[in-house]
Structure 1
Amino acid sequence: MKRGFAPWADPSQQPLVRFDAVTKRFGDVTAVDRLSLDIYEREFFALLGPSGCGKTTLLRLLAGFEAADAGAILLEGRNIDGVPPYRRPVNMMFQSYALFPHMTVAANVAFGLKQDRLPKGEINARVAEMLALVKLERFAHRKPHQLSGGQRQRVALARSLAKHPKVLLLDEPLAALDKKLREETQFELMDLQARLGTTFVIVTHDQEEAMTMAHRIAVMDHGHVKQVSPPADLYEQPNSRWVAEFIGDINIIETVVVSQTGDHAVLETAAGRRFSVGGVADAGAQAFMAVRPEKIRIALTPPLGGGLNHVAGRVVDIGYLGDMSIYKVRLDDGSVMRASLANARRGSERDIVPDQPVWLSWPPEAALLLTK
């Protein structure tokens, strides 16, 4: 479903959720500042940002747990400001799961349905459907303390989905899980969302989690949206230095634009080193060249054919990550660049070691030109 799913690119499509110049303050602190954002039906949308950026506040505004100080929130084109949480076709799954410890799994899932006074037969059928959906049928009569963390997370998910909400809000839902279970659950959530067709909005500070699951990601900082893009576009085409540095690992070099030819620019550092990069900027403008570590080739000899984008340095540190290694290389001007290399061979067979002179090189199209 991810491939080819892009309702935001179709002008005829109307968003399911629209934040229109929304502001929320807590005393002197502005948590959300004149923020506008569209989320579409069947989309898996992620709100990503550092702690205190306003992402959870935005989720609570949509859920109805907070009221906006300015602007409007629309669901299916209808302003839902003032509509209480229990009357919104939205459900929220909390980070703590908030399960009732004295109730069984089945009773936890049924709780919201009983509050809505649904017929008993319909409740039982819906509970069975949800438990089958999250593969917990045989745990229906257990209490939460008799479950693992991953199982409790699934119970909370089943309870959140039982009322068939138009939008499911997930506030750091995988934070309590260990790394391996977290990764497995990410793909389970993706499959579940695709099967149900429910719009999911997830809050996370985990970049890898957002990149794995979401159709689009809104990167937030200090109550503002810095960029909204699909994961690949966000990683490969960040719109600012801040976003480039927040998403993944990247080398940033401060430069001045020397010349522009077609869609390529020549940049120069304060030390007089020149680079070629794809992008357009005015000659004389301050600019940043950004290049991801995995785009850089590290070798013991200079690259053949010369070219602008190569530098010499000395390895000062190596970080072994299992599938790859990160090499920190100090250049002649004292700056440090990072390059990554897949560990295709055993550690004892690798050629590059600490304190060794090396060359770093990269093609112009591998680098980004950022002007802000």
Structure 2
Amino acid sequence: MPSEKPNQIRFAPWEDTEAVPLIRFRNVVKKFGEFTAIENLTLDIYEREFFALLGPSGCGKTTLMRMLAGFETPTAGEITLDGRDIVPVAPNRRPINMMFQSYALFPHLSVADNIAFGLKRSPMPKSEIAGRVEEMLRLVRLQKFASRKPHQISGGQRQRVALARSLAKAPKLLLLDEPLGALDRKLREDTQFELMDIQEKLGTTFVIVTHDQEEAMTVASRVAVMDEGKLMQVATPDVIYEQPESRYVADFIGDVNLIEGTVAEAEEGGYKLVWADGAPPIHAETDVPLSLGDSCTFAIRPEKIAISTDKPDDRANAVPGKVLDIGYLGNISTYHVQMPNGAIFKASATNSRRLSRRGITWEDEVWLSFTATAGVVLTQ
């Protein structure tokens, strides 16, 4: 994802009304028999974006990518790349490359020959191929492994070979299908930042398909959250996390407490929400227009909730509860707290000191508190 540096214009072409998208989906439908995999989808992706298609299995993200690659044809609608209708264009005629999760490296060829494979079948002059291969090896930091076979290098290195091979022909668009799924967690996290760095250096547009929320949020300039062939929300990672537009998006991305409530009273900047008999109402600031008696959902992330043994006086919201469980995750501790009505809230606290004294333990009576702006009011 292109990053901001001092005196650098923020990368956000989707906010520029004059910017022309590189990729355009217009009212795209894809059916397999009676099953609708993609339903009337419209989406713009801009040049130099690292764009993520995110969602559970069966949501349509892979079908969308396969239509971009040319492996599937839309039932209806239009797909353009750089202003050109690519639906009738054969996959091998599109300026698009695809990197598969399996990497699909040739086991009998060296690293260098794997990278050169597509170049040897392209119009590139043979005299230029060696230089291009060397450039790709430098890009992915594999110069020392050029003569090795795939089985002689690690999984992370094989992933980089596959990436170099995909980028060797300088495609306008690179599609990545769960590219890090075969790597262990630590290596996957390291490789995410390598991918971002390579994408920024080259300026190639990347579209990644993943079901890993953390991966999408880490690498992407924007994320499209999908469900049942529809776009639920398209936005930057911070907006997806902090300002979800629906219960589905809020629940799909990270941990969240979803509290069903009813508007009891309008107040300055927001509303007073009744959510449980005998429980203090929730004060929530929001721009969402609501009327008295309307049902809504108050979504709040665990890290936005403070936990203490004494009732705080400086928070708009404070509810009592009892600690049911504690999860120590190293950098944070997560508390499951039962409310008087039986509902369970999650709160998390950063373990900022190595040997901090933990004053809260199981079965303790505690207070959970949060500000009026800490959560989001959702109506869908």
TM-score category by the smaller chain?
over 0.9
> Residue 284 in 1 paired to residue 284 in 2?
no
Task: Provide closer, same or farther for how the CA distance between residues 306 and 76 of structure 1 changes in structure 2, counting only shifts above 3 A.
Answer: closer
Distance 1:243 1:256 in 2: 21
Cα pair 1:52 1:222 within 8 Å, conserved: yes
> Residue 269 in 1 paired to residue 270 in 2?
no
Distance 1:226 1:314 in 2: 35
Question: 244-253 or 260-269, which moves further after superposition?
Answer: 260-269
TM-score by length of structure 2 reads 0.95
User: What residue number does 1:160 align with?
Assistant: 166
Deviation beyond 3 Å, 4+ runs, structure 1: 345-348
What is the DSSP-based 3-state SS (H/G/I as helix, E as strand, rest coil) of the residue aligned with 1:183?
A: helix
User: What residue number does 1:371 align with?
Assistant: 379
Task: Provide closer, same or farther for how the CA distance between residues 180 and 305 of structure 1 changes in structure 2, counting only shifts above 3 A.
Answer: closer
> Residue 233 in 1 paired to residue 239 in 2?
yes
What is the DSSP-based 3-state SS (H/G/I as helix, E as strand, rest coil) of the residue aligned with 1:365?
A: coil
Superposition deviation, residue 124 in structure 1: 1.0
Describe the superposition over 1:150-185 as per-residue Cα deviations: whole angstroms up to 9, x where unpaired: 010000000000000001100010111111111111
Describe the superposition over 1:351-370 as per-residue Cα deviations: whole angstroms up to 9, x where unpaired: 11111111000000101111
> Which residue, out of 297, 300, 306, partners 2:306?
297
Question: Aligned AA for 1:233?
Answer: V
Describe the superposition over 1:256-281 as per-residue Cα deviations: whole angstroms up to 9, x where unpaired: 11222343111111425311111132
What is the DSSP-based 3-state SS (H/G/I as helix, E as strand, rest coil) of the residue aligned with 2:51?
A: strand
Cα pair 2:276 2:341 within 8 Å, conserved: no
Question: 278-287 or 221-230, which moves further after superposition?
Answer: 278-287
> Which residue, out of 2, 5, 14, partners 2:11?
5
Superposition deviation, residue 282 in structure 1: 2.0
Distance 1:44 1:133 in 2: 18
> Which residue, out of 330, 348, 355, partners 1:322?
330
Superposition deviation, residue 371 in structure 1: 0.8
> Residue 310 in 1 paired to residue 310 in 2?
no
TM-score by length of structure 1 reads 0.97
Distance 1:157 1:65 in 2: 20
Question: Aligned AA for 1:285?
Answer: D
User: What residue number does 2:215 align with?
Assistant: 209
Superposition deviation, residue 110 in structure 1: 0.8
Distance 1:257 1:339 in 2: 24
| Correspondence list, 1:1-372, <5 A | 1-3=2-4, 4-273=10-279, 274-279=281-286, 280=288, 281-305=290-314, 307=316, 309-346=317-354, 349-372=357-380
Superposition deviation, residue 306 in structure 1: 6.8
Distance 1:155 1:26 in 2: 34
Cα pair 2:241 2:250 within 8 Å, conserved: yes
Question: 256-265 or 164-173, which moves further after superposition?
Answer: 256-265
Question: Aligned AA for 2:319?
Answer: V
What is the DSSP-based 3-state SS (H/G/I as helix, E as strand, rest coil) of the residue aligned with 1:23?
A: strand
Cα pair 2:116 2:133 within 8 Å, conserved: yes
Question: 276-285 or 257-266, which moves further after superposition?
Answer: 257-266
Superposition deviation, residue 118 in structure 1: 2.5
Distance 2:264 2:144 in 1: 68
**Aligned residue pair count:** 371
Cα pair 1:324 1:342 within 8 Å, conserved: yes
What is the DSSP-based 3-state SS (H/G/I as helix, E as strand, rest coil) of the residue aligned with 2:373?
A: helix
Describe the superposition over 1:21-77 as per-residue Cα deviations: whole angstroms up to 9, x where unpaired: 111122232111111110000111000101111111111100111111110100011
Task: Provide closer, same or farther for how the CA distance between residues 44 and 305 of structure 1 changes in structure 2, counting only shifts above 3 A.
Answer: closer
Distance 1:306 1:225 in 2: 36
Q: Percent identity?
A: 59
What is the DSSP-based 3-state SS (H/G/I as helix, E as strand, rest coil) of the residue aligned with 1:189?
A: helix
Distance 1:241 1:251 in 2: 10
Distance 2:311 2:262 in 1: 25
Distance 2:347 2:98 in 1: 41
Describe the superposition over 1:81-139 as per-residue Cα deviations: whole angstroms up to 9, x where unpaired: 11001110110000100011111111111111111143211111111111111011111
Cα pair 2:315 2:371 within 8 Å, conserved: no
